[in-house]
């Protein structure tokens, strides 16, 4: 299927890159797989990676304004710290990424974060990036959508400030209903035991209602 007219408009910058790549390859007399494709085929291939697809529709249900209840466990054997706040998620970059801005209230200290959610067409996986006031690190994850259980599962790495070590992490976004979602972050300890470190429950905020 060829890209539609409005999709071709967004591809003009990429078309320039394609043409530049072809010119470079020809000048260097390099033969690669792209060299056997017609220009239309190259544009179509670029469109598959550059444009949002049907996989992004899974994330659409995350958009909106939410009340957020955050619970944080420093260790598995202690009671969690809890706070209440709000979150706003909106599409950016022409529907390629869903951006979240979270004001999570106070977990001993003010807890605020910014996240990006998307679908990486090259990796064929859902992707996320997260930064917040508890760390100077940006956490990145890749995952897949479990349609049966209505959950997006992510795997990545957590940089533990208490031990100065890297730990495997597993995150998920569970769609409980159209107006309720739960985000979880599980961390694996050196012993191999996994525990729930962070949980944020999102409830869609009613128009005109204060948290």
- pLDDT one-digit tens code per residue, 89-137: 999 999 999 999 999 998 878 899 999 999 999 999 999 999 999 888 8
Averaged pLDDT, 169-196: 90
Does 210 map to a domain?
A: no
Helix (H) or strand (E) holding 131: strand 125-132
Nearest to 117 by CA among 75, 189, 171: 171
Tokens of 49: 């990676």
Let me know whether 70 and 161 are in one domain: yes
Is residue 5 scored above 50 in pLDDT? Answer: no
Tokens of 184: 């979880």
Q: How confident is the model at residue 35 (pLDDT cuts 50, 70, 90)?
A: low
- Phi-psi bin for 208: left (phi > 0), alpha (psi -120 to 50), beta? left
Q: How many beta carbons lie within 10 A of that of residue 192, not counting itself?
A: 7
Is residue 8 scored above 60 in pLDDT? Answer: no
Q: What local confidence, expressed as pLDDT, does residue 33 receive? A: 52
Let me know whether 15 and 94 are in one domain: no
Nearest to 75 by CA among 159, 156, 195: 195
Show contacts of 9-16: CB within 8 Å, 24+ apart: 10/50, 10/51, 10/94, 11/43, 11/46, 11/47, 11/50, 11/51, 14/43, 14/46, 14/50, 15/43, 15/46
Give the domain range for residue 91: 57-204
Question: Which CA distances in Å does 28 have to 22, 25, 202?
Answer: 10, 5, 54
Q: How confident is the model at residue 207 (pLDDT cuts 50, 70, 90)?
A: low
Q: How confident is the model at residue 10 (pLDDT cuts 50, 70, 90)?
A: very low
Let me know whether 21 and 39 are in one domain: yes
Q: What local confidence, expressed as pLDDT, does residue 18 receive? A: 47
Let me know whether 28 and 125 are in one domain: no
Let me know whether 137 and 62 are in one domain: yes
Question: Residue 18's Cα: distance from chain center in Å?
Answer: 27
| Tens-place pLDDT, residues 42-53 | 887 787 788 888
């Amino acid at each position: 299927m060829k890209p539609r007219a409005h999709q071709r408009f967004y591809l003009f910058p990429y078309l320039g890159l394609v043409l530049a790549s072809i010119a470079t390859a020809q000048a260097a007399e390099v033969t690669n797989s792209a060299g056997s494709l017609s220009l239309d085929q190259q544009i179509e291939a670029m469109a598959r990676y550059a444009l949002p697809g049907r996989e992004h529709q899974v994330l659409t249900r995350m958009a909106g304004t939410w009340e957020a209840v955050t619970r944080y466990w420093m260790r598995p054997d202690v009671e969690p710290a809890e706070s209440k706040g709000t979150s706003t998620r909106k599409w950016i970059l022409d529907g390629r990424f869903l951006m979240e801005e979270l004001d999570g209230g106070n977990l001993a200290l003010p807890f605020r974060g910014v996240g990006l959610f998307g679908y990486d067409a090259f990796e064929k996986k859902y992707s996320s990036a997260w930064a917040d006031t508890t760390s100077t690190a940006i956490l990145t994850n890749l995952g897949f959508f479990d349609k049966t259980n209505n959950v997006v599962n992510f795997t990545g790495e957590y940089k533990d400030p208490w031990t100065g070590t890297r730990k495997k992490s597993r995150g998920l976004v569970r769609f409980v209903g159209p107006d309720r979602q739960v985000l979880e972050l599980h961390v694996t300890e050196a012993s191999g035991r996994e525990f729930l470190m962070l949980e944020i429950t999102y409830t869609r905020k009613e128009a005109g209602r204060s948290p």
